[in-house]
Amino acid sequence: MINRINYFVLGKGSNILISDKGMEGLVIHTTRLNRIGHDEHCVSAQCGASLKDLCDYAQKLGLAGLEFASGIPGSVGGAVYMNAGAYGGEIKDVLRYSKYLEPSAQGLRSFASVKHLKAAAHLFGYRSSVFQTSGWIHLSSLFSLTPDDPEAIAERMRELEKQRWSKQPMDLPSGGSVFKRPQGHFTGRLVDDCGLRGFQIGGAAISNKHCGFIVNLGSATAADVLALIEHVQKKVLERFGVLLEPELRLIGRQ
Ligand SMILES: Cc1cc2nc3c(=O)[nH]c(=O)nc-3n(C[C@H](O)[C@H](O)[C@H](O)COP(=O)(O)OP(=O)(O)OC[C@H]3O[C@@H](n4cnc5c(N)ncnc54)[C@H](O)[C@@H]3O)c2cc1C
């Protein structure tokens, strides 16, 4: 709450599903807070900067460590909030500290002091961070990287991009992996083994290319996607006794 108004911080919107009924309150879109800079082996980025821009910036400087993130279509704020990760790397591996705003019962004025958060205080876990429970607004982070040949870094980024395009439905709109990876299992395999590859509700379908993704075939509503999520959860629970937890953030009036 800011002065008793509900608020939601929106990055690139690549990991959220907004209700068809919308949401009440203020949406704070971080897109204009997009500065990126560096100091020796560290790169800093504001919350609204895209991960792609951050990775390209580091690559040109010959600083390695962010290659894993170059194909993730999110903002720096969203990536810290989610502890985004891919191909064996996670934000927590390279983050040194962040700056953030902490809401207060007194409203916007006392909200406005910028605080520092050390790496350990982010309480990073698998696709989780302290930002998910605190209501804090992430402002910027400093990333500690390792000098390397720029062309070698670019080559690794190209290779990961190729892998992503070969395994994920990048040609259709989606919210990325719908569910967190359950311990000891692969979500895509569980969904596939339930016979749900290509299964469709309204305009939403389980991707034929990767069963961990729900794609929009053109006319999907949020209700279609939600119904499909619930259907998959039910089938996987019945067949394997595994409850799939959504990675996608569900926002707005239900
Ligand atoms: C095709 C595709 C592939 C993907 N691949 C991956 C992958 O490989 N690995 C991975 O981890 N994710 C992946 N994702 C998911 C997503 O891109 C990441 O989670 C990303 O980090 C989300 O960033 P965003 O800016 O889009 O966040 P949003 O979707 O805008 O927001 C996500 C959450 O973060 C919060 N948030 C955003 N900015 C801030 C801020 N400044 N302060 C506080 N809270 C904030 C929002 O309130 C929301 O709860 C993929 C998504 C898609 C569509």
DSSP assignment string, 146-208: EE--HHHHHHHHHHHHHHHHHHS-TTS-EEEESBPPPTTS-HHHHHHHTT-TT-EETTEEE-S
Q: What pLDDT, on the 0 to 100 scale, is given for residue 112?
A: 62
* Residue predicted with more confidence, 112 or 82: 82
Query: Which residues form ligand 1's pocket by a CB distance below 6 Å?
Result: 8-16, 30, 47, 72-75, 77-79, 81-82, 84-86, 131, 137-138, 174-176, 249
Query: Phi/psi zone of residue 244: left (φ > 0), alpha (ψ -120 to 50 degrees), beta?
Result: beta
Which atom of ligand 1 lies at the shortest distance from residue 168's CA? Answer: 1
For residue 36, pLDDT beyond 90: yes
Residue in 73, 51, 93 with CA at minimum distance from that of residue 177: 73
Q: Where are the domains of the chain?
A: 7-166, 171-251
* 171-251 CATH, one of 1.40.20.10, 3.40.30.10, 3.90.78.10, 2.40.110.10: 3.90.78.10
According to CATH, what is the number of the domain 7-166? 3.30.465.10
For residue 157, pLDDT beyond 70: yes
pLDDT digits (tens, 9 = 90+) for 89-144: 999 999 999 999 987 766 555 556 889 999 999 999 999 999 999 989 999 999 99
pLDDT digits (tens, 9 = 90+) for 20-32: 999 888 899 999 9
